[in-house]
Structure 1
Amino acid sequence: MSVVPLNPIPLKDRTSMVFLQYGQLDVLDGAFVLIDKTGVRTHVPVGSVACIMLEPGTRVSHAAIRLAATVGTLLVWVGEAGVRLYASGQPGGARADKLLYQAKLALDDALRLKVVRKMYELRFGEPPPARRSVEQLRGIEGARVRQTYLQLAQRFGVKWHGRKYDPKDWEKGDVVNQCISAATSCLYGISEAAVLAAGYAPAIGFIHSGKPLSFVYDIADIIKFDTVVPEAFRIAARHPEQPDREVRLACRDIFRSRKITATLIPMIEEVLSAGEIEPPQPAPDMLPPAIPEAASLAEDGFRSR
């Protein structure tokens, strides 16, 4: 049975994400806490965070998962350095009417093409070539992406041998690929939180398909070259000792300064509206009661390390 968030803080008012490792997440004395091996408790402002990334070494109690679901905070289980997403919770779940709306757009070839063309336009700032199929647009997009990687490498003076990485072996990739993987992992996490918060299904994609996070990849790819990927190249050019940590902190600052969480949901609705069919409207009893804007938190950008 899914837990419906009770009076949650709107996504746009939340800290984007936090990363936790090496501890037990639990609810003690009504507080959401991370307890390390020495018994030290660190308070996590769960209701004011959009997404909590759980790295290896974390355990989660039933009470903690229930509280996260109640306040609408997404829990995502990731690999070492966040390079791979294994699983995620689902705060509130996709709404049936929105899921059917999304599925109708994805299953109708003509409607799907309209949505894909809108994604292309938002990503590249220009309309896509006329009379092209989804597969052809995917190929054009891939070529432009490869060219963008090359241009960024030249801009930041980074040696580039292509996008090569092994999710199962973090150390195998070169520094720039490690930085890109860490950056896109951050972006996918917050994008998944936005998709779920908007009431849609992460798996029903338009450009991507057949993966649990297909729609998340669709949405994140629209903005990744305007946000996190250039920062990954900039950090890689310095040859940092801890590339994943530096990239994550930089992504946190980007998400905060550019208010990414406040722009993702409107962008999702804009993309889907390109299908030109009537979107679902929430019934009055589905709207959450109004709550004050979230106060700024001293814990903004909190990390467990």
Structure 2
Amino acid sequence: MNKQAGAKKADIQELPRIEDRVSFIYIEHAKINRLDSAITVTDYHGTVRVPVAMIGVLLLGPGTDISHRAIELIGDAGSSILWVGERGVRFYAHGRSLARSTRLLERQAKLVSNPRSRLNVARRMYQMRFAEDVSRSSMQELRGKEGARVRRSYRLNAQKYNVEWDKRVFDPDDFLGGSPINQALSAGHVCLYGLVHSVICALGLSPGLGFVHTGHDLSFVYDVADLYKAEVTIPIAFEVVSESKEGDDIGRRTRLRVRDAFVDGKLMKRMVQDLQDLMEVEMDDRFQMDTVHLWDDKDKLVPNGFNYSEDDSNAHDGHYPEKSP
């Protein structure tokens, strides 16, 4: 009889509950391997073992190498793995969903396939942004209200930060051809798309089944990102431009500032709850993402709640493409 190499694959009942896991661990500039039922993380400081069954989502940033054996263990433990840019600000690929059930995906597909329920979800999305009741508004009316709201946000931030503003114009194939504020907005929005994409995939939802946007494999990513632009990336973009001097790398400065806004994990936790609200998930069936840690490359997990400076040892610019993903 053939002997099984390595640790035995865990049964479903043996795996920790989602709420008992460390939700997100971010690793960059390190080599990842497997030792028994743990992954080993090695960098120039040494090697640390991390019990993989306690990881919800493993975010692999720039400069990470991972072995086939480590991937095998992560898959068997039911953990999700995502390849991302620096501090998770750009989504590149994912290995599997954190969800072992398709119930949330089926719920999304059911809601988006029926015109009435699709409109209701779209209305809930817009309701998150407006102070007024939009439960009877048509899609045309909602788009008009949203357009006016975004234009007002641009105008108010331009006045607040004393930045010259005309209109939103950008060419995905010519990032540097845009004005400084349009460069900053494009860079900030790409970071937000990456974070949203990571959370959507971690929950087992489809990034392509959008309720407002349609016809693109990232339609739902754009839907969800629009919920947070006016309060996150738009103000950051205007602030960065107001502080910049001629010759500054606007894209890099914006990415770093957006990264610092994401690092405490509060926006990720909010996205998880908002997505489940939109899908009308019952409370007993919800994912709880309460604990967020970062790998700090010094033999430990770093607690959330801190904004790390630009010269921190984790602050490496990933030189991400400026196009929307």
Q: CA deviation at 1:31?
A: 5.1
Relative to structure 1, is the Cα distance of residues 31 and 116 closer, same or farther in structure 2, using a 3 angstrom cutoff? same
Amino acid in the other structure paired with 2:115: D
Q: TM-score, normalising length from structure 2?
A: 0.67
Which residue matches 2:268?
Answer: 261
Amino acid in the other structure paired with 2:249: Q
Matched, 1:271 2:275: no
Matched, 1:303 2:314: yes
Which stretch has the larger CA shift, 220-229 or 244-253? 244-253
- Return the match for 1:119 from 105, 125, 130: 125
Larger Rg: 2
- Return the match for 1:171 from 171, 176, 184: 176
Secondary structure in 2 matching 1:225: coil
Which residue matches 1:102?
Answer: 108
Relative to structure 1, is the Cα distance of residues 251 and 12 closer, same or farther in structure 2, using a 3 angstrom cutoff? farther
Which residue matches 2:167?
Answer: 162
Matched, 1:213 2:239: no
Matched, 1:234 2:239: yes
Q: CA deviation at 1:157?
A: 1.3
Relative to structure 1, is the Cα distance of residues 143 and 25 closer, same or farther in structure 2, using a 3 angstrom cutoff? farther
Amino acid in the other structure paired with 1:148: S
Q: CA deviation at 1:122?
A: 0.4
Q: CA deviation at 1:196?
A: 2.3
Aligned pair count reads 283
Relative to structure 1, is the Cα distance of residues 295 and 98 closer, same or farther in structure 2, using a 3 angstrom cutoff? closer
Identity of aligned residues (%): 31
Amino acid in the other structure paired with 1:119: M
Q: CA deviation at 1:298?
A: 3.3
Secondary structure in 2 matching 1:298: strand
Relative to structure 1, is the Cα distance of residues 54 and 266 closer, same or farther in structure 2, using a 3 angstrom cutoff? same
Q: CA deviation at 1:142?
A: 2.5
Alpha-carbon contact 1:153-1:233 (below 8 Å) kept: yes
Which residue matches 1:223?
Answer: 228
Deviations 1:198-228 (A, max 9, x none): 3321111101112222222212211221123
Secondary structure in 2 matching 1:75: strand
Which residue matches 1:153?
Answer: 158
**Partners of 1:92 and 1:303 in 2: CA distance:** 26
Secondary structure in 1 matching 2:33: strand
Which residue matches 1:27?
Answer: 33
**Partners of 2:255 and 2:49 in 1: CA distance:** 18
Alpha-carbon contact 2:21-2:56 (below 8 Å) kept: no
Deviations 1:253-302 (A, max 9, x none): 323457112211111111222xxxx76975xxxx99x9x96677338667
Matched, 1:128 2:134: yes
Relative to structure 1, is the Cα distance of residues 131 and 201 closer, same or farther in structure 2, using a 3 angstrom cutoff? same
For structure 1, the 5+ residue unaligned runs are none
Alpha-carbon contact 1:11-1:261 (below 8 Å) kept: no
Which stretch has the larger CA shift, 62-71 or 201-210? 62-71
Larger helix proportion of the pair: 1
Relative to structure 1, is the Cα distance of residues 244 and 92 closer, same or farther in structure 2, using a 3 angstrom cutoff? same
Relative to structure 1, is the Cα distance of residues 280 and 200 closer, same or farther in structure 2, using a 3 angstrom cutoff? farther
For structure 2, the 5+ residue unaligned runs are 1-11, 295-300, 317-325
- Return the match for 2:251 from 244, 249, 253: 244
Which residue matches 2:198?
Answer: 193
Secondary structure in 2 matching 1:224: coil
**Partners of 1:260 and 1:187 in 2: CA distance:** 10
Deviations 1:158-187 (A, max 9, x none): 122322223333322222222222222222
Secondary structure in 1 matching 2:271: helix
Secondary structure in 2 matching 1:102: helix
Alpha carbon RMSD of aligned pairs, Å? 4.3
Q: TM-score, normalising length from structure 1?
A: 0.70
Alpha-carbon contact 1:83-1:181 (below 8 Å) kept: no
Alpha-carbon contact 1:12-1:259 (below 8 Å) kept: no
Alpha-carbon contact 1:117-1:127 (below 8 Å) kept: no
**Partners of 1:136 and 1:48 in 2: CA distance:** 44
